[in-house]
Amino acid sequence: MLRFVSLLPSKTFRRSLFYCRNFCSIIKEEEGSLLSDIDLNMPSVSYVQHSFLVVHPKIRWGRNATPPKEKNDELQVEEAIALVKTIPGFSVSQSVIVGTDYTTKKKHIWGQGRIEDLLKLKVSSRVSALMINVDQITPLQQTELYSIFRVPIYDRYNIVLKIFKLFAKTKLAYYQIQLAEIPYIRNRLHYLDNNDTNCDVLQITDAVNALAKSGLDRKEALRLREHALRKRIKSSIESAKNEVAERKLRQDKKNAGNSLVIAIIGYTNVGKTTFIKRITGASQLNPEDKLFATLDTTIHPFSLPSRNNVFIADTIGFMASLPVGLFESFSATLMHATSADLLIHLIDLSHPDVLAQKKNVLKTLIDLKFPQKLIDNMICVGNKLDKISDYDKHKLIESEVLNKNDSVISSTSGYGINELILKIDKTIMNINNSRIRRFKLKPESKLISYFYENNLVTTEPVVSECGEYLIFDICLNDGQLNKLKKKMNFMIKQQ
């Protein structure tokens, strides 16, 4: 039954790079630069028109097996449809859930009867492509299913890669996308070399054509491309680290403190960019209601009520049923998160599969080897409170989505934002050992101007009982206090 749902290099290396010029898409470098300092053109995104049949394999578990409780097949289909529709020119004509026994690794995934039913549905729906809603189908499955349905066969992996190419705005993002694509190409090249199929079926025609022009063995050319990409990404990571360090240094000099980095993480499309725009007022941010809208990390300065200065980093969203290697390729984008001082995990309270999304993000953090201390100290924030009822909120607490220590907000209305900022401020004070320190100063003290010039005054001073002093409560971390002591010693010497 089909169940329907609604819609450094040596001379040899330099010579090799020369021959694989076409494949690596080398562009002009500054005069005198080495060929090894390769620059790769941004990959083009083809806008082919396709009408899809989305097929979700529902695994039928044995009597003694325990299926994952958080898996909801209908919601997974909805997510697959959203993925397909994100790409211009792609539409979904029909979606269906089809049962299969125990695993999706079989050659045809389904038995003969269900394959015949799907073939009839494909013909009646007049679709031009199939999307199998699994993380990644094998080259054998892709070939076998194509021979039956005679239309392109997609999975979540290559659909998401197309979305990544669509939304990437910088060369660094494109480099990371190309790196993520290499295992897919390599796997299919190996199959192509040993089986009777063609590159159109495996959707690697562009790569194969480029390899043919390189004059090199295809696997060697692919290896050289991977080497060049990793080198570029490594260089970009170092540049990004230096940029953040320089910005922190400028901020520290300006405000006499050590600026920490807070990374906002979460499932794709939970409202991370809207949240950051709400708390920082960053006018250049333009939140978009679509999957994987953020591929390039942006960082934004923000001053907390204690006058601790931090940087807020927006990061790529995660998604279920994707190989962790896909996200590992985005090492430069994730660098701001893995090296952050604090993580804020934003979840979409209005999403019907919110618990599964939350668990997927936590699993991805572990798979990507985020520091355990960073995960343990993470602040969980429920967003989009404006889209749920009080009854639903209580249900979320009962279902383990929220606990009593989690914050709930609406980035759209601003509800709960001030309370969350105070919570973040308190956490940052613990991280950098900030404390409120009291100063009793004469009105003519030079320290008063120092406090104001360095933006350290959070509340105006009170006059002492004797009327001769001003009392300031100033939040300082150890670094700021040491700098202040040096300033005081300098003032004393000048007197």
Helix axes 218-255, 331-338, angle to 10 degrees: 30
H-helix or E-strand spanning residue 161: helix 156-167
Instruction: Establish whether 75 is an annotated binding residue.
Output: no
CA gap 485, 465 in Å, rounded: 26
Instruction: Establish whether 458 is an annotated binding residue.
Output: no
Instruction: Establish whether 427 is an annotated binding residue.
Output: no
CA gap 51, 126 in Å, rounded: 8
Instruction: Establish whether 198 is an annotated binding residue.
Output: no
- Compute CA distances 365 → 19, 294, 402, whole Å: 40, 18, 19
What is the torsion angle, in degrees rounded to the nearest 10, for the CA atoms of residue 296, residue 356, residue 156 and residue 124?
Answer: -130
Instruction: Establish whether 207 is an annotated binding residue.
Output: no
Instruction: Establish whether 44 is an annotated binding residue.
Output: no
H-helix or E-strand spanning residue 90: strand 90-101
Instruction: Establish whether 296 is an annotated binding residue.
Output: yes
Instruction: Establish whether 411 is an annotated binding residue.
Output: yes
Instruction: Establish whether 293 is an annotated binding residue.
Output: yes
Amino acid at 241: K
Instruction: Give alpha helix (H) positions in 195-316.
Output: 199-202, 205-214, 218-255, 272-280
Instruction: Establish whether 271 is an annotated binding residue.
Output: yes
As beta bridge partners, residue 292 has: none
Instruction: Establish whether 267 is an annotated binding residue.
Output: yes
Instruction: Establish whether 273 is an annotated binding residue.
Output: yes
Instruction: Establish whether 350 is an annotated binding residue.
Output: no
In the sheet with 2-4, reading across from the earlier edge strand, the strands are 2-4, 90-101, 50-60, 129-132, 153-154
H-helix or E-strand spanning residue 154: strand 153-154
At residue 159, φ and ψ (nearest 5 deg) are -65, -45
Instruction: Establish whether 383 is an annotated binding residue.
Output: yes
Instruction: Give alpha helix (H) positions in 324-416.
Output: 324-328, 331-338, 354-367, 372-376, 390-398
Instruction: Establish whether 464 is an annotated binding residue.
Output: no
Instruction: Establish whether 12 is an annotated binding residue.
Output: no
Instruction: Establish whether 240 is an annotated binding residue.
Output: no
H-helix or E-strand spanning residue 188: helix 171-194
What is the DSSP secondary-structure string of 415-478?
A: TTHHHHHHHHHHHHHHHTT-EEEEEEE-TT-HHHHHHHHTT--SS--EE-TTSS-EEEEEEE-H
Instruction: Establish whether 72 is an annotated binding residue.
Output: no
Dihedral sign computed on CA atoms, order 160, 161, 163, 164: positive
- Residue 27 burial (C-beta neighbours within 10 Å; 0-12, 13-18, 19+): exposed
Instruction: Establish whether 111 is an annotated binding residue.
Output: no
Instruction: Establish whether 317 is an annotated binding residue.
Output: yes
Q: Which of 148, 145, 149, 127 is nearest to 137 (CA)?
A: 145
Instruction: Establish whether 385 is an annotated binding residue.
Output: yes
Instruction: Establish whether 261 is an annotated binding residue.
Output: no
Q: Which residues fall in the annotated binding site for GTP?
A: 266-273, 292-296, 314-317, 383-386, 410-412
Q: Which residues fall in the annotated binding site for Mg(2+)?
A: 273, 294
Q: Which residues fall in the annotated binding site?
A: 266-273, 292-296, 314-317, 383-386, 410-412
